[in-house]
Amino acid sequence: MTADIIVHNLHYSYPPLTPDGDPAPVLKGVSLEVQQGEFVALLGRVGAGKTTLCMALNGLVPHSTGGIFRGEVTVLGLDTKQHPVADMARSVGMVFQDPESQLVQMRVEDEVAFGPENLGVPTAEIEKRVTWALKAVGLADYRDRSPLLLSGGEKQRVAIAAMLAMHSRVLVLDEPTANLDPVGKAAVFNVLSGLCREHRITVFMATQELERIARFADRVLVLHKGQIALDGPPAEVFQHVTELQAWGVGVPQLVELGHVLTQRTRRSYHFTSMSDAYKQLRRQARKVRMRKSQGPFPPPPNHSANPLAALSQIVVENLSYTYADGTTALQEVNLILPPGEFVAILGPNGSGKTTLAKHFDGLLKPTKGRVLVERRDTRTARVAELARLVGYVFQNPDHQIFAPTVREEIAFGPRMQELPASIAGQRVDDALARFGLTPYADLPPALLGFGQRRQIALAAVIATQPKVLILDEPTGGLDGRSRQELLDVVAGFNALGRTVILITHDMRLVAEYAHRAVVLLNGRILFDGSPRALFHQPEFLDQAGLALPPITRLADRLAPEGMAPGVLSSAEFAAAWQARLPVKHKRKKKARRAPGKESPDHAG
C-alpha cells in the first residue's frame, strides 16, 4: 500500500520580503511519508516552516504563495504541482489556526455543506455527509446554530467537519488549537484521535501542544533548519531532550522532569506518560523506603511586608460591566493589586478575563462600581493618560502593528509620551536589543513571522516603561524557547518592582511565574490566592475548566508514597524527590545495584 502523504526532497523559498531582497528559503530538503490512519504531529520553532509544509500538502504552497519550489509532494497519488488547490481539496482537508477566516456561512449545516456543494455532490448525498460529519465531530445537535456564536473549540470542530464532508481522507491542521481554552483544546484532540481510530483518517497536525502530542500522536516529526530532524513515536523522539531543548522546541513537562532527575541523581529516568512516570517513581519509592517530606518549598512571597503594599496600585470596587447588547460580563468584582505583583488571571473563554483587564487602562468604563489605577478613577481619566501607567499587550499582535519599520513601530509609544528624542531613542534601542530584533529594525513588521510580530508588540509596550504590564494570552502558538524568552523579559520587568497581569490558560506559566492567581467564572471571582493554594483546591480548577500541570498532578498522585503535594516546577519536584532519598539507605542499595546512583549533594 502506498503512503497517503509522500513528500520527496522538498525545497521551498518564499518570494523576497522587499523588492531588492533575496528569496527566503524555508524548507531545505524535506522528505517524509505518512501512512493511512496515522496521527502525525509536526513540531518546530515558530518560523521553522511548519505552516509552509502544511500548505505545501494541499498545494497552497506554491500555487497561492509563489516562490521557488523544488521536489515533489504527492497526496493520495495526486501531485500538487499538477493539481490546483481546489482539486486537491477532494483528498486533502485543511484546517487553519484562525476559525474566523475559514467559516463563511451563517448556519453550521450550510458551512459543512459548502465544500460538497463546490464538488457538485448531489443534494441527497450532501445531506448524508453533513449528518455524518457533524456526528463525527460530536456536533450533531448544532445544525441550525450560527458558526459565529460558537466557542473557539466548537468553531474548529465545525471546520474539521466541513473537511470531512468533502470525504477528505487526509486532514492537515495548522495549529488548530493555538487560540483555544483548555476545554476547546481537549475537545479538538479527542475528535481527531477518534477520527484516526474509527474512520482511518490520516491526521497531519502542526502544533506546539507538547503534552497532548505525547498522549495522542502516533508519530512526531521535528522540523529544524528546514529539514525533518527527528521522526518517530513520541516516546522515542522526546528522549532527545538535549537536542530538543537546544533547538528551542521544548519537551513535555514529565520528560523534562525525567531529564532533570537524571541529571541531579545520576540515575536514569525516562517518562513517556503520566502512568509510566507514576509507576516508575512509586516502584522506586517503595524499594528505597523514602523519608516523608513537606518539600523544600520557599515560603510564599509575603507582600504585606512590603511598605509600598499599603499604597495599592489598582483597586477594583464592586465592579460590574454590561455590554451594549445586554450581556453581563462582570458582576460585583472586588480586587486589590499592590505594586510589584505578578498576577495570573484565569478562567474559561467568556468568563470576563479580558473585560476585567480592559478596565485597568480605561478602555472600558465600569457600568457599576469603580476602578482606581494609582488613585486615578478610570471613569474620568483619559485613556491616553492611563496608557502611560498601564501597558496592554493584546492577544493578536496584528491589531497594533502599523508602522513601515520595526523601529518606528516600537518608537510609537515613547513618541506618544512626548519624551525627549535621546531618551526615546535609547529606550527603542534597548527594546530592540532585548528581544534580538536589532537585525530587523528597518524591515516592515507586518511582513515578519508570527513569533517576531508578537515580540514586536511586546517590545513596543515595554519601551513605554509602564508601571503595570497587562499581557493577554501572550504565548498561544509560541514554541518552548520563544515562550521562555518572552516570559524571561516579563519576569525581569516584574523584578524591577513593576506589576504584571497575565491573562492565560497555560497552567505551567502560572505555576512557574505567577505569585497570585485570580480565577474568574461567569464574570465573578471564583478564587483569589497563591497558585499553590489554587492547586490544592481541584474543585475550583474543575469548575473553571482548568487542569493541573502534569508535574503537580504527578506529585499529588505520589502523595501516599510520602511526596509533598503542590509541586510547581520540575526543579521543585526534583529537589523534593531528592531531599527524600535517605542517604544511608542509598549506600546499601548501591552495592547491590548498578553503579551511578543518586547523590546526596543537592539535598535540601
Partner 1 sequence: MRADFNLYVRRDTWLHRLDPRVKLAFVVEATALLFLWPSVRTAVGMIACCSIVLWLAQIPAPQIARAWRTMAPLMVMVFVLTALFAGGPSRVLFPIGPLKVTLGAVQQGALLATRLLALALIFFFWLFTTDQAAMVRGFLALRIPYDWGLTLALALRYLPIFAGLFQQVREAQQARGLDLEQRSFWQRLNAYRPVLIAMVISALRHSEHLGWALEARALGARGVRRSVFRPLHLRRGDVAVLILLLLTLTLKFGRRTGKLNAQRVGVGQGWQCPTPAQLYNVLFRTPRHVLLLTQDYAII
By CB under 8 A, the residues from 407 to 436 that bind partner 1 are 412-413, 416-417
Considering the complex, state which of residue 459 and residue 568 has its C-beta at the smaller distance from partner 1. 459
- Could you say which residues in the range 164-203 bind partner 1, by CB under 8 A? 166
Residue closer to partner 1, measured from CB, 168 or 208:
168
Of residues 134 and 254, the one with the C-beta less far from partner 1: 134
- Options 263-271, 378-386, 498-506, 571-579: segment touching partner 1 (CB under 8 A): 378-386
Is residue 460 part of the contact set for partner 1 (CB under 8 A)?
A: yes
User: Toward partner 1, which CB reaches closer, 218 or 385?
Assistant: 385
Rounded to 5°, the CA angle 236-549-345 comes to 140
Site stretch for partner 1 (CB under 8 A), options 160-168, 208-216, 250-258, 577-585: 160-168
Asked if 43 and 219 count as a contact pair (C-beta separation under 8 A), the reply is: no
Residue selected from 20, 77, 310, 399 as contacting partner 1 according to rule CB under 8 A: 399
Q: Total residues at the site for partner 1 (CB under 8 A)? A: 77
Q: What are phi and psi of 440, to 5 degrees?
A: -100, 5
Closest distance to partner 1 from the beta carbon of 106 (Å): 5
Instruction: Measure CA 392 to chain center.
Output: 19
The single residue among 25, 296, 350, 565 that binds partner 1, judged by CB under 8 A, is 350
Helices (H) and strands (E) in the chain, counts: 24, 20
Q: Per rule CB under 8 A, is residue 402 in the interface with partner 1?
A: yes
Determine, following the binding rule CB under 8 A, whether residue 340 of this chain makes contact with partner 1: no
Cell of 337: 493589586
In the chain, the N- to C-terminal Cα span, in Å, equals 58
The answer to whether 583 contacts partner 1 (rule: CB under 8 A) is no
Q: Which is nearer to partner 1, 148 or 308 (CB)?
A: 148
Distances in Å between the alpha carbon of 385 and those of 362, 376, 381, 391? 9, 10, 7, 11
- Closest Cα partner for 542 from 183, 208, 7? 183
Looking up cell 521522526 gives 231
Query: What is the nearest approach in angstroms of partner 1 to the Cβ of residue 423?
Result: 15
User: Side by side, which strands form the sheet with 314-322?
Assistant: 328-337, 314-322, 368-373, 376-377
Distances (CA, A) of 489 to 45, 413, 431: 19, 18, 10
Q: Quote the CA–CA distance of 10 and 41 in Å, as a whole number.
A: 18
| CA count, 13 A, side-chain hemisphere, 600 | 9
- Given the complex with partner 1, which of 22 and 144 has the nearer CB atom? 144
Cis upstream peptide for 147 (omega within 30°): no
387 binds partner 1 (CB under 8 A): yes
**By CB under 8 A, what part of segment 74-133 binds partner 1?**
84-87, 89-90, 92-94, 96, 98, 100-102, 104-107, 109-110, 113-123, 126-127, 130
Residue 375: count of CB within 10 angstroms of its CB: 9
Bridge pairing between strands 5-14 and 227-232: unpaired
Contact predicate 5/202, CB 8 Å: yes
Contact between 534 and 565 (Cβ < 8 Å): no
Taking the complex as a whole, how short is the minimal distance between the CB of residue 204 and partner 1, in angstroms? Answer: 14
Q: Apex CA 555: angle with CA 554 and CA 558, to 5°?
A: 90
Out of 45, 185, 358, 407, which residue is the one contacting partner 1 (CB under 8 A)?
358
Candidates 132-140, 252-260, 426-434, 456-464: pick the segment binding partner 1 (CB under 8 A). 456-464
Among 262, 396, 426, 530, binds partner 1 (CB under 8 A): 396
Minimum separation from the CB atom of position 372 to partner 1 (A): 18
Sole binder of partner 1 in the list 52, 207, 253, 349 (CB under 8 A): 349
Tell me which residues in 39-68 interact with partner 1 (CB under 8 A): 55, 58, 60, 64
- Letters for 584-603 (x = contact with partner 1 by CB under 8 A, - = none) are --------------------
- Which segments of 411-480 are extended strands (E)? 468-472
CB 216 within 8 A of CB 228: no
Q: How far is the CB of 469 from partner 1 (least distance, A)?
A: 11
Output the smallest distance, CB 578 to partner 1, in A.
Answer: 45
| Cell of residue 148, nine digits | 459565529
Q: How far is the CB of 44 from partner 1 (least distance, A)?
A: 20
Looking at the Cβ atoms of 355 and 552, the one nearer to partner 1 is 355
- C-alpha triplet 401, 403, 409: angle, nearest 5°: 75
List the interface residues with partner 1, window 463-502 (CB under 8 A).
464
At its nearest, how many Å lie between partner 1 and the CB of residue 411? Answer: 11
Cell of 18: 522587499
Give whichever of 404 and 436 is closer to partner 1, judged by the CB atom.
Answer: 404
Q: Which residue in the block uniquely carries the three cell numbers 481546489? A: 86
